[in-house]
Amino acid sequence: MRVLAAMSGGVDSAVAAARAVAAGHDVTGVHLALSAKPGTLRTGARGCCTIEDSHDARRAADVLGIPFYIWDFAERFTEDVIEDFVEEYAAGRTPNPCLRCNERIKFEALLDKAIALGFDAVCTGHYARLSVVDGKPELRRSADIDKDQSYVLASLRDDQLRHAMFPLGDSTKPEVRAEAAERGLSVAEKPDSHDICFIPDGDTQAFLTRKLGERPGMLVDDETGAVLGMHTGVHGFTVGQRKGLGIDAPAADGRPRYVLSLEPVSGNVRVGTAERLAVREIVGERPVWPSGAPLDGLTECVVQVRAHGGTASAVASVEDGGSLVIRLAEPLRGVAPGQAAVLYQGDLVLGSATITSTRD
Hey, which residues are catalytic here? 101, 197
Separation between Cα atoms, residue 154 and residue 98, nearest integer Å: 11
> Are 21 and 64 contacting, i.e. CB atoms less than 8 angstroms apart?
yes
Taking Cα atoms as reference points, which of 335, 222, 349 lies closest to residue 280?
335
> Are 67 and 42 contacting, i.e. CB atoms less than 8 angstroms apart?
no
Taking Cα atoms as reference points, which of 7, 35, 73 lies closest to residue 198?
35
Q: Give whole-number Cα distances, 100 to 31, 162, 165, 281, 354, in Å.
A: 18, 19, 18, 24, 11
| Parallel/antiparallel/unpaired status of strands 2-6 and 26-33 | parallel
Which letter, b or e, does each residue of 52-61 get, where b requires 16 or more Cβ atoms within 10 Å of its Cβ?
A: bbbebbbbbb
CA angle 101–323–317, rounded 5-degree value: 110
Q: Give the three-class secondary structure for 25.
A: coil
> Are 29 and 60 contacting, i.e. CB atoms less than 8 angstroms apart?
yes
SS (H, E, C) 90-103: HCCCCCCHHHHHHH
SS (H, E, C) 194-216: CCCCCCCCCCHHHHHHHHHCCCC
Separation between Cα atoms, residue 126 and residue 36, nearest integer Å: 25
